[in-house]
Amino acid sequence: MDKSRPLWELHILDFPTSEAASAAVFRINHALGDGTSLISLLLACTRSATDPKTLPVMPSAMPPPARLKGRRRVYGASPPPARSAGAMAFVAWVLSCVLLAWHTIVDVVSFAALALDLVRDPRTVFTAVKGVEFRRKRLVSRGLSLDDVKHVKNVLGCTVNDVLVGVTSAALSRYYFRKSGDDATKKDVCLRSLLMVNVRSTPGIQELAQMMEPSKHNGVKWGNPVGQIILPFYIAMYDDPLEYVRKAKKVVDRKKHSLEVIVTHGIGKRGTELFGTKVSGAIFHRMVSNTTVAFSNMIGPVEQVEFYGHRVVYIAPSVCGNTSALTIHWQSYADTIRVVLAVDDSQFPDCHHLLDDFAESLKLIREAASAHYQEAGNS
The confidence band for 65, taking pLDDT boundaries of 50, 70 and 90, is very low
The domain ranges of the chain are 35-68+121-378
CB neighbour list of residue 251: distance below 8 Å, 6 or more residues apart: 165, 231, 232, 234
* CA–CA separation, 14 and 296 (whole Å): 29
CATH topology classification for 35-68+121-378: Chloramphenicol Acetyltransferase (3.30.559)
Highest mean pLDDT pick, 44-53, 64-73, 109-118: 44-53
Does the annotation count 30 as an active-site position? Answer: yes
Q: pLDDT at position 68, please?
A: 38
Given a contact cutoff of 8 angstroms between Cβ atoms, the answer to whether 262 and 89 are in contact is no
Q: pLDDT at position 73, please?
A: 43
DSSP tag of 4: T
Given a contact cutoff of 8 angstroms between Cβ atoms, the answer to whether 190 and 250 are in contact is no
Q: pLDDT at position 185, please?
A: 67
DSSP tag of 346: T
As a whole number, mean pLDDT of residues 278-305 equals: 86
| pLDDT value at 66 more than 60 | no
As a whole number, mean pLDDT of residues 355-366 equals: 97
pTM: 0.89
Percent of the chain with pLDDT over 90: 49
Given a contact cutoff of 8 angstroms between Cβ atoms, the answer to whether 225 and 200 are in contact is yes
* CA–CA separation, 11 and 24 (whole Å): 6
* CA–CA separation, 93 and 324 (whole Å): 39
Calculate the average pLDDT of the chain.
Answer: 87
Rg (alpha carbons) of the chain, rounded to whole number: 21
